Structure 1
């Protein structure tokens, strides 16, 4: 289904990805299409694939 035409953005979207190393602690904000918008301890932010992180259950 190759549709061509005009579209209206429904939300803000930034294509920036966040580099992370195993063990990095991230703060996640929102999920979209299998990606999380996250912030690291150095103040950097960007998208990271959901398959690359493990969510921590806060008690």
Structure 2
């Protein structure tokens, strides 16, 4: 989860691109979420995350 802070202008540009359907060139996973969350750990890449089955 990217927890960087963006300016209002950066949010405006990103939202316009999103609603136009422009593809993101970054390899990020996008999740839409509404509500509170708590950061409990930080991972530098997805390969470090262990899944439990």
Task: Report the TM-score range of the alignment, normalised by the length of the smaller protein.
Answer: under 0.3
- Flag the structure with higher strand content: 1
TM-score (norm 1): 0.22
The structure, 1 or 2, with the larger RCO (C-alpha pairs under 8 Å, 6+ apart) is 1
- Flag the structure with higher helix content: 2
